[in-house]
Amino acid sequence: MESKTPEFGEFETRMRSAGVAEMAIRAFKHSYDSLRAGDTGLIPEQSIEPVDALPALEEVKAGRQPDPALLSQAAVIKLNGGLGTSMGLESAKSLLPVKNGLTFLDFIARQILFLREKHGVPLSFVLMNSYSTSTDTRSFLARYPKLGKPEELELMQSQAPKVDAKTLRPISWPPNPKLEWCPPGHGDIYPSLLSSGLLEAWLKQGKKYLFVSNSDNLGATLDLGVLDYFANSGKPFLMEVAERTASDSKGGHLARRGRRRLLRESAQCPKSDQASFQDIRRHRFFNTNNLWIRVDSLWEMLRENGGFLLLPLIKNQKTVDPRDGASPAVFQLETAMGAAIQCFEDAGALVVPRSRFAPVKTTSDLLALRSDAYGITEDWRISLVREAGPPAILLDPGHFKLVDQLDVSLKDGVPSLRNCHRLEVKGPVLFNSANIFQGDVSITNPRSEPRPLPAGTYANCSQTLE
């Protein structure tokens, strides 16, 4: 591989020694060359235009009867590389019990099996694992032999060296050499699909459509209505988006540059443009990371570009040991899967209901899903049982940030949130199944030791535990 920068040879040697695939090395080189060229990865407001109007799922589904046979031409990929370290988890986040003792992977497996059995179609399915999640995930999937052999349900994510922020050379960290590496972002899915041989195999099997989503988003099921729309649209790429609300103002949004759409993440926005970035009336739509891709279009583009897509650089500055702020500064060079929308000239976007975007990023999200505000449908989706939208939950991060902390607070049962609009909890509070929250409720424990909340209904009130 010819390099524009002599320093890249060190990265290339290190990556080859670690068994990183050729396509992934090329993709990393593209990002590294961008870094060396002074590319900040920033997308100024003046360089883009807002997206004003898009088709909505309710409109495109009206009066149509999707053909279930389309499932035989589709494949589902779930991104499953995360550990959930922000919530104190040390294994695959998808193995976290979400509801009724069932994990994300339980729900995902049962959703796939339901579709296969209901329609009599061998729907293809794989998980994109990381080196941190592969072993535990394979072991868990053995519980579902009808799904397939665990080793055949895996697409492995690559890994990339961290870049020394001072020298732009590979960082060296003898105390823990594993910390010299980082995930390359979910944009790595594209070269990984090619280098694994999976994309070519699917092409030969007559697969035409890929549906990709995050494993922690249980709202992201394969919807026949969306598949039907995508198949008939002729578009090579489709992003599911949702209307931004005030709570989404800091998340990435869809924009336009000329005839092409693009995705701008918060890390790509200059500080001077933050007001425009967070203006939900100007930038109305956010990426749910539910993506639909034509297999043949992706195959052709990857072949044309040497095995990877020309995705914009995301430069994340961190310390080599994320738990040690005094350790050397590094750049983690990443790419976003959704950024591929700008690679396809005729790429589309579809506005979907908020129900298709229900990720678990915090223990507040987890509490809501575990409560009676959500139910389990026949096809193994977790769905809101009310029309008012999900309850807004603000748990004290000093006492509820970690899953272990939440589990302790729920040892006597999960409170009712079915009729709760907003719940704020301050201090260490122990709940039980006889706690019923309605409307806007605030619970405060001013002491440092955990206090149980007495059974009863709490409606539009503020309660302090004495």
pLDDT of 121 strictly over 50: yes
Look at the block and give the residue holding tokens 């967070």.
Answer: 278
**Predicted pLDDT at 355:** 85
Angle, to 10 degrees, between the axis of helix 104-119 and the axis of helix 134-141? 50
Four-point Cα dihedral 7, 12, 13, 14, nearest 10: 100
pLDDT for 390 equals 85
Nearest in space to 219 (alpha carbons), one of 55, 421, 419, 380: 380
Q: How far is CA 201 from the centre of its chain?
A: 25
The pLDDT of residue 88: 87
Q: Quick count: other Cβ atoms within 10 Å of Cβ 317?
A: 11
Give the torsion sign (CA, 277, 279, 281, 286).
Answer: positive
- pLDDT at residue 85 in the model: 82
User: Is a pLDDT exceeding 60 seen at residue 3?
Assistant: no
Dist. CA 41–CA 23, nearest whole Å: 21
Specify whether domain 8-356 bears CATH 3.90.550.10. yes
Mean pLDDT of the chain, nearest integer: 93
| In the chain, where the domains are located | 8-356, 363-464
Question: Tell me: the pLDDT tens digits for 122-135?
Answer: 899 999 999 889 99
Over range 105-117, report the average pLDDT.
97
Q: What's the confidence (pLDDT) of residue 466?
A: 82
pLDDT exceeds cutoff 70 at 6: no
How far apart, in whole angstroms, are the C-alpha atoms of residue 127 and residue 80? 6
Q: How far apart are CA 76 and CA 96, in angstroms?
A: 21
Please tell me the distance from the alpha carbon of residue 15 to that of residue 142, in angstroms, as a whole number: 31
Q: Is the pLDDT of residue 220 over 60?
A: yes
Q: Do residues 409 and 428 make contact, with C-beta atoms less than 8 angstroms apart?
A: yes
Q: What is the mean pLDDT of residues 77-89?
A: 88
Angle among Cα 382, 86, 279 to the nearest 5 degrees reads 75
The residues, ordered by sequence, that sit 6+ positions from 275 with a Cβ below 8 Å of its Cβ are: none
Q: Averaged over 336-356, what is the pLDDT? A: 93
User: Where does the pLDDT of residue 219 fall: very low under 50, low under 70, confident under 90, or very high at 90 and above?
Assistant: confident
Average pLDDT over residues 166-182: 95
What is the band of 2 on the pLDDT scale with cuts at 50, 70, 90? very low
Please tell me if the domain spanning 8-356 has the same topology as the one spanning 363-464.
no
CA distance 463 to 444: 6
d(CA 445, CA 429): 6
**Higher local confidence (pLDDT), 406 or 354:** 406
Instruction: Report the pLDDT averaged over residues 456-462.
Output: 98
Q: How many residues does the chain have?
A: 466
CATH superfamily of 363-464: Hexapeptide repeat proteins (2.160.10.10)
Give the pLDDT confidence of 292-337 residue by residue, as tens digits: 999 999 999 999 999 999 999 988 999 999 889 999 999 999 999 9
Look up the pTM and report it: 0.93
Average pLDDT over residues 68-87: 92
Burial bucket for residue 52 (CB in 10 Å: 0-12, 13-18, 19+): exposed
Residue, of 275 and 2, whose pLDDT is higher? 275
Calpha distance 27→131 (Å, rounded): 19
110: pLDDT strictly greater than 80 = yes
Over residues 228-254, the mean pLDDT reads 91
At residue 255's C-alpha, the angle toward residues 251 and 259, to 5°, is 160
